[in-house]
C-alpha cells in the first residue's frame, strides 16, 4: 500500500501543477470575464437583463458573440447582422426565445437596403413555426404585380403578399412572420405592414446548451478568440469538462 501511494504521489502532484499552470496562463491571456456575470446585464427600454450571447453598454464584446453587440436607440435595443438592423421586442432566457423585427421595415415598407433576412454566422436560427411574406421591388414598368402595394413616391412601389410569390420581373426579399398570424395575413394581406411590427421568433443553436450547463455550475458564458467559452468566477477559461466545471463550482 505504501508503494502504491509513493507511485501515486508524483502523478497527483503533476495533475495539481498542471491545473495551477493552466489557471495562471488563462489569467495572463484572458479578458476580464468577471464583467460578464449575470450581475452585469444589458437593459434598454422594456427589454431587461440581456446576457450572453449579447454584449453592449457595460458588457464588453467578449461577453457575447462577436457580431451581436446591442445598442440602445430611442429606448429600443438593436443589433445588426449581415447589414440588417433588428429591434429586440421580446427576450426570454429560460425558453431560449428571442423575438426581433427588421428596423428598416418598422415605420414603412419603402426600404432602401434590400438585404435578405439572414442569421448566418450567428448562434440563432429561425423558429420552425414561422411563415413568410414577400416584398417585391424594382419591378419593370410593364410587369407590375396586381398585389397590395405601398407608394414610395417617384413612381416607385413596393408590392407585398403572403407566402412566396412569383418574382417574374421584380427583385424580392422574404421576411419571416409568426406562424400564429399567418392565416390572418393570407386572408387579408393588407395587414402585412402592421404584422411586420410583431416580429418573428429566433432560437439558439446547440452552443447554448453548453452555456446553460456553464451557468448552472457557477460559470459565465462569453467568447474566447471568437469561439464560445465557459469562464469561472475568477475569469479563467473552463471548458465543459467535469474537472473544469467542478473548478467553477469550488473556485
- Please report whether residue 29 resides in a domain: yes
Whether 124 and 135 map to the same domain: the answer is yes
Whether 137 and 213 map to the same domain: the answer is no
Determine contact, residues 58/40, Cβ cutoff 8 Å: yes
Burial of 241 (0-12, 13-18, 19+ CB in 10 A): exposed
Q: Would you give the end-to-end CA distance of the chain in angstroms?
A: 32
- Please report whether residue 86 resides in a domain: yes
- Domain residue limits at 7: 2-35+206-250
> Which of the four pLDDT bands, split at 50, 70 and 90, describes residue 159?
confident
CA angle 108, 113, 117 (to 5 degrees): 85
Q: Which three cell numbers, joined as nine digits, stand for 28? A: 495572463
Whether 195 and 87 map to the same domain: the answer is yes
Residue 43 above 90 pLDDT? Answer: yes
Q: In terms of Cα–Cα distance, which of 118, 166, 120 is closest to 139? A: 166
- Span 178-184, average pLDDT: 89
pLDDT at 106: 93
Alpha helices (runs of H) in 98-195, residue ranges in sequence order: 182-187, 192-195
- Please report whether residue 43 resides in a domain: no
Whether 166 and 130 map to the same domain: the answer is yes
Cα distance between residue 197 and residue 189, in whole Å = 14
- Span 209-235, average pLDDT: 82
- Please report whether residue 67 resides in a domain: no
Q: b or e along 38-59 (b: 16 or more beta carbons within 10 Å of the residue's beta carbon)?
A: eeebbebeebeebbbbbbbbeb
Indicate the pTM of the whole model. Answer: 0.80
Whether 184 and 90 map to the same domain: the answer is yes
Q: In terms of Cα–Cα distance, which of 202, 167, 196, 199 is closest to 54? A: 202
- Please report whether residue 76 resides in a domain: no
Whether 179 and 217 map to the same domain: the answer is no
Whether 193 and 113 map to the same domain: the answer is yes
Kind plus residue range of the DSSP H or E element containing 99: strand 97-102
- Please report whether residue 41 resides in a domain: no
Whether 101 and 169 map to the same domain: the answer is yes
Whether 225 and 193 map to the same domain: the answer is no
Residue 2 above 70 pLDDT? Answer: no
- Please report whether residue 222 resides in a domain: yes
Whether 220 and 166 map to the same domain: the answer is no
- Span 146-158, average pLDDT: 84
pLDDT at 138: 86
Whether 94 and 185 map to the same domain: the answer is yes
Residue where a domain terminates, one of 204, 224, 239 = 204
Number of separate domains in the chain: 2
Would you put residue 140 in left (φ > 0), alpha (ψ -120 to 50) or beta? beta
Residue 8 above 90 pLDDT? Answer: no
- Going from the C-alpha of 146 to that of each of 6, 32, 65, 143, the distances in angstroms are 87, 58, 43, 9
Amino acid at each position: 500500500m505504501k508503494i502504491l501511494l509513493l507511485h501515486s504521489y508524483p502523478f497527483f502532484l503533476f495533475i495539481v501543477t498542471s491545473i495551477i499552470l493552466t489557471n495562471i496562463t488563462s489569467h495572463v491571456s484572458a479578458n476580464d470575464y468577471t464583467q460578464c456575470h449575470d450581475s452585469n446585464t444589458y437593459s434598454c427600454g422594456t427589454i431587461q437583463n440581456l446576457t450572453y450571447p449579447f454584449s453592449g453598454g457595460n458588457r464588453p464584446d467578449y461577453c457575447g458573440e462577436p457580431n451581436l453587440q446591442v445598442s440602445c436607440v430611442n429606448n429600443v435595443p438593436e443589433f445588426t447582422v449581415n447589414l440588417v438592423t433588428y429591434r429586440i421586442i421580446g427576450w426570454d432566457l429560460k425558453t431560449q426565445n428571442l423575438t426581433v423585427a427588421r428596423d428598416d421595415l418598422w415605420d414603412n415598407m419603402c426600404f432602401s437596403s434590400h438585404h435578405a433576412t439572414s442569421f448566418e454566422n450567428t448562434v440563432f436560427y429561425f423558429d420552425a413555426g414561422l411563415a413568410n411574406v414577400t416584398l417585391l421591388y424594382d419591378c419593370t414598368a410593364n410587369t407590375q404585380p396586381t398585389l397590395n402595394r405601398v407608394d414610395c413616391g417617384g413612381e416607385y412601389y413596393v408590392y407585398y403578399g403572403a407566402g412566396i410569390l412569383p418574382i417574374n420581373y421584380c427583385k424580392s426579399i422574404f421576411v419571416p412572420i409568426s406562424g400564429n398570424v399567418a392565416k390572418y395575413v393570407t386572408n387579408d394581406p393588407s395587414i402585412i405592414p402592421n404584422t411586420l411590427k410583431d416580429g418573428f421568433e429566433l432560437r439558439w443553436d446547440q452552443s447554448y446548451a453548453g452555456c446553460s450547463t456553464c451557468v448552472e455550475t457557477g460559470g459565465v458564458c462569453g467568447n474566447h478568440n471568437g469561439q464560445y467559452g465557459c469562464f469561472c468566477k475568477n475569469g479563467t477559461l473552463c471548458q465543459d469538462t467535469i474537472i473544469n466545471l467542478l473548478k467553477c463550482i469550488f473556485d
